[in-house]
Amino acid sequence: MRALAIVLAALALGSVATAAPREPTNIFATNMPAPGASLPPVASLDSGVWMKGDLHIHSRHSKDSSNNPVGKIVSLAERVGMDYLCITDHDNHVDGDIAHNTWTDPEFHSDKVLLLWCAEWTTHRGHGTSISAKPYDHQRLYDVRDKRDAVIGQTKRDLGIHLSANHPESGNAFTFSYDIVDSVEVWNSAVWANNAGNIRVWDGLLKSGRRLTGRGGSDSHHGTPDTPAQATSLSYQAPENNVGTPTTWVYAKTRTRQAVVDALTNGRVSIAANPYSPRVEFYADRDGDGRMDMMMGDNARASGKPVTFRVQLTGPNLQPTASYTVRVVKNGGKFQTLTISGAKPEAQFTDTPPADLRTYYRVEVEGPATPYPEVPGSMKLSGTMLGLSNPIYFNYDPKF
């Protein structure tokens, strides 16, 4: 009896873990075409909405961006069709008082773009981005920057904000515990080639069992330099780096600020080189019924049976005659390379995540760069790098 009770308890625990990921996994329960049918974009079958934005950009309220008015950033974001925007001024440049600087700037307003309440939490142990769907007391986060990590994590939870680690491997590397953050900047600025270290940090965190969202951020500081000295200084960033280089797409349940933040926390996130680049979407069919029942960010118990994964590129700027290279990363290592064409921009692969181990899969896509007419030259900084998905997870602890 005792053995049976243990087995039953284990089964019960198993079913609880399967049924309680952060997001429902069976998101495509209805209206999916039959196996083998040519599939329309999956997003149209679900109740969510893809929304794009930039999560890291500096305005004139940062002392190193004094020539970048809020209105100029907002109007470019509106022109290129951004859905949301995070202006992240350095909080230490205003002694933590973001609330009476960036957020009360008369130009901090848009009828088209959802402006989030954000700041770059700038400390001598590294930088983070605070992200909120509503105003919050940023001064409190600034004031605990030199406290122990447990105090900072509790302050973040008290404030009800999303905290993200910025450029984790850089001159201002993030040296706090990653247990206090909800996401990590894995693609900082248009210069993709500088992000190898950030990706390495991310894969290490994913291997540790954390489901930590990877996101982008242009970290753009200047439209044009104020002075010749700025133009030649190491901290000056080329004008080719601007709103949306890269662009972070989130799959939000509704077109609201809170849904954007929730999607970011839940890993329903895809990063693209610029606002016009194709978006990579990544799905899985866990139960083999031919319908995709997971998307990036989702976590499920592995059954030990094969899982079919689908990668698709979406957007009006796919080049029909071009070929795109998809690198599949499994548990931090190279798993497969797929080639897809612009004419039929999707591919599938199959693998069997072990029933008794944690496993994650994510994809990176390269191909011809997409022009960004408002920011000419950004293509040459991002090169052939087009997009990056968040992982699909198996057997990750939902509480971690």
Least distance to Zn ion, CB of residue 224, Å: 18
Least distance to Zn ion, CB of residue 106, Å: 23
Q: In which region does residue 52 sit, left (phi positive, over 0), alpha (psi from -120 to 50) or beta (all else)?
A: beta
Residues 165-194 that bind Zn ion (CB under 5 A): 166
Of the candidates 186, 180, 175, which has an alpha carbon nearest to the alpha carbon of residue 123?
175
281 touches Zn ion (CB under 5 A): no
Least distance to Zn ion, CB of residue 79, Å: 22
Give the CA-trace dihedral at 85, 368, 363, 261, to 10 degrees. 10
Name the residue nearer to Zn ion (CB basis): 176 or 282: 176
219 touches Zn ion (CB under 5 A): yes
Residue sitting closest to Zn ion (CB): 127
Interface stretch with Zn ion, choices 126-134, 139-147, 179-187, 309-317 (CB under 5 A): 126-134
Name the residue nearer to Zn ion (CB basis): 165 or 284: 165
Least distance to Zn ion, CB of residue 379, Å: 22
Least distance to Zn ion, CB of residue 214, Å: 17
138 touches Zn ion (CB under 5 A): no
Residues 277, 192: Cα–Cα separation, whole Å: 14
Applying CB under 5 A, among 60, 61, 93, 127 the residue interacting with Zn ion is: 127
Name the residue nearer to Zn ion (CB basis): 91 or 120: 120
Name the residue nearer to Zn ion (CB basis): 68 or 299: 68
The 3-class secondary structure across the chain, one letter per residue, is: CHHHHHHHHHHHHHHHHHHCCCCCCCCCCCCCCCCCCCCCCHHHHCCCEEEEEEEEECCCCCHHHCCCCHHHHHHHHHHCCCCEEEECCEHHHHCCCHHHCHHHCCCCCCCCCEEEEEEEEEEECEEEEEEECCCCCHHHHHHCCCCCHHHHHHHHHHHCCEEEECCCCCCCCCCCCHHHCCEEEEEECCCHHHHHHHHHHHHHHHHCCCCCEEEEECCECCCCCCCHHHHHCCCCCCCCCCCCCCEEEEEECCCCHHHHHHHHHHCCEEEECCCCCCEEEEEEECCCCCCCCEECCCEECCCCCCEEEEEEEECCCCCCCCEEEEEEEECCEEEEEEEEECCCCEEEEEECCCCCCCEEEEEEEECCCCCCCCCCCHHHHHCCEEEEECCEEECCCCCC
Least distance to Zn ion, CB of residue 196, Å: 18
Residues 240-269 that bind Zn ion (CB under 5 A): none
Interface stretch with Zn ion, choices 78-86, 216-224, 339-347, 383-391 (CB under 5 A): 216-224
Name the residue nearer to Zn ion (CB basis): 126 or 297: 126
Name the residue nearer to Zn ion (CB basis): 190 or 307: 190
Name the residue nearer to Zn ion (CB basis): 83 or 91: 91
- Tell me, by CB under 5 A, how many residues bind Zn ion: 4
Least distance to Zn ion, CB of residue 217, Å: 7
Name the residue nearer to Zn ion (CB basis): 127 or 291: 127
Least distance to Zn ion, CB of residue 252, Å: 24
Window 149-168: contact mask with Zn ion (x via CB under 5 A): -----------------x--
State the Rg of the chain over Cα.
21
Least distance to Zn ion, CB of residue 48, Å: 29
Residues 91-120 that bind Zn ion (CB under 5 A): 120
Interface stretch with Zn ion, choices 77-85, 157-165, 212-220, 358-366 (CB under 5 A): 212-220
Interface stretch with Zn ion, choices 179-187, 190-198, 217-225, 377-385 (CB under 5 A): 217-225
Least distance to Zn ion, CB of residue 90, Å: 7
- 10 CB-contact burial (10 Å; exposed 0-12 / middle 13-18 / buried 19+): exposed
Beta 84-87 vs 49-57: how paired, if at all?
parallel
Interface stretch with Zn ion, choices 104-112, 127-135, 180-188, 311-319 (CB under 5 A): 127-135
Which parts of this chain interact with Zn ion (CB under 5 A)?
A: 120, 127, 166, 219
